[in-house]
Amino acid sequence: MKPVDYVLDRIPLLLAFAGATMFLLLVVHLAIAPLNAGDVLYLLLLALVTTLVILGVDYARHRAFRRELLARLAAPSAAPIGNPASREQRAVAELLARVQARHGSELGALREQAEHHRTFMDLWVHNMKTPVAVLQLTAQEPGDGAWQSVAEEAGRLAEGLETMLAAARLERFELDLHPAMTDLAALVRAGVNELRSSWLLADMYPRVVIEGEGASAETDPKWLRVVLRQLLGNAIKYGGPGQHVTISVSADELRVSDEGEGIPASDLPRVFDRFHTGRQGRHRTASTGMGLHLAARICEHLGHGLRIESIEGEGTTVTVSFHAAGVHRLGDNAERFGA
């Protein structure tokens, strides 16, 4: 705090002191003994010097606290403010400390609660996987008919559980990140196989194109698999019987192209928004608007780019680029989740 600010804060006090001095001089002049100009000047000078000394001492006394206060203001921190010189400053310091303590414990409780919630979700989803697996296996027994719809619904449940698991894990992404040179062909095949029953039920065919055998990229295989699963899930959901979904991988990117109904141009800019279901989604109960949002968030964390191109009635292509670093980003609205 500059001395100027200090003085400005004390203007009412100084004015009062000046008024009192003038009044005192007037009273002495009129009622006790007439004062000449020299006396008045001398007394005023005396009052001024006294005031300056008092102000100086007071300023020095309060300076340490003020300095800390301002430092804390510039860079808020949790440390208590020391060196209070007056009762008021002590009260302010005390208040801050108390607010801090209270928020601290509240925050701790919330964090603990969130952690419990995540652990619970994780456990719960894993526990739910077994009943879903039993359902899916039972529905595979020869018999068709009604079992087919059981299989479809079980597939939907499985997909929902995966999304939930991914969403819960995304909140502590940093702790759950294990980047490694990843064999992309193996990852894509595993991802396609995981959805085996969905492909069969939808009567759709995956086509895997590996550009350069042994193509690998620096990524987190687990998270990339989650992204792939979301993209494949969408391609199957919005595709039709007999259609192919092409998954092409190279060391630079992973591309999922479908021959589905496509996304209207008006919906494209918002497909990565959370809970956005678009025109197509609103006609389908299975849409949560979480899939692409999750994929985008994960890619953002991984430092990969994610972009989507779609022509209504012809199909959609979603591309994950491993070395995004701004290359494709210029002027591409859908690319705003790129690294």
Partner 1 sequence: MRIFIVEDEPKLARLMADNLQRYGHEAVIAERLHDLKQEFLESGAGLVLLDVNLPHFDGFYWCRQIRTVSKVPIIFVTARGADMDQVLAVEHGADDYIVKPFSLDVLTARVRAQLRRAYGEYSGDSADSTGVRLDPLRLRASWAGRSVSLTRNEAVLLEALLAASGRVVSRQRLLGVLWDEREFVDDNTLTVNVTRLRRRLDSLGLGGAVHTVRGEGYRLELP
Q: Which residues on adjacent β-strands are paired with residue 18?
A: none
* Least distance in angstroms from the C-beta of 106 to partner 1: 35
Neighbours of 162 (CB within 10 A): 20
Integer Cα distance of 268 and 276 in angstroms: 11
Residue 221 or 281 with smaller CB distance to partner 1: 221
Helix 221-237, helix 184-194: angle, nearest 10: 50
Integer Cα distance of 210 and 217 in angstroms: 13
Integer Cα distance of 164 and 294 in angstroms: 10
Integer Cα distance of 136 and 7 in angstroms: 79
Residue 9 or 203 with smaller CB distance to partner 1: 203
With tokens 């006790």, the residue in question is 32
> Of the candidates 98, 207, 279, 282, which one interacts with partner 1 according to CB under 8 A?
207
The bridge status of strand 305-311 relative to strand 315-321 is: antiparallel
* Least distance in angstroms from the C-beta of 334 to partner 1: 27
Integer Cα distance of 291 and 240 in angstroms: 19
Residue 29 or 222 with smaller CB distance to partner 1: 222
Residue span binding partner 1 (CB under 8 A) among the ranges 38-46, 81-89, 99-107, 122-130: 122-130
> By the 8 A CB rule, do 254 and 247 touch?
yes
Integer Cα distance of 259 and 257 in angstroms: 7
With tokens 């804060």, the residue in question is 9
> Of the candidates 132, 184, 254, 298, which one interacts with partner 1 according to CB under 8 A?
132
Sites for partner 1 among residues 244-273 (CB under 8 A): 244
Sites for partner 1 among residues 141-170 (CB under 8 A): 141-142, 144, 158
Site for partner 1 contains 140 (CB under 8 A): yes
> Of the candidates 58, 152, 153, 194, which one interacts with partner 1 according to CB under 8 A?
194
Around 18, how many Cα atoms within 13 Å sit in the side-chain half-sphere? 7
Integer Cα distance of 246 and 139 in angstroms: 28
Residue 68 or 159 with smaller CB distance to partner 1: 159
Residue 182 or 277 with smaller CB distance to partner 1: 182
Per-residue binding string, partner 1, 209-228, x by CB under 8 A, is ------------xx--xx--
Per-residue binding string, partner 1, 277-306, x by CB under 8 A, is ------------------------------
- Which residues of this protein are in contact with partner 1, per CB under 8 A? 126, 129-130, 132-134, 136-138, 140-142, 144, 158, 189-190, 192-194, 196-197, 200-201, 203, 205-208, 221-222, 225-226, 242, 244
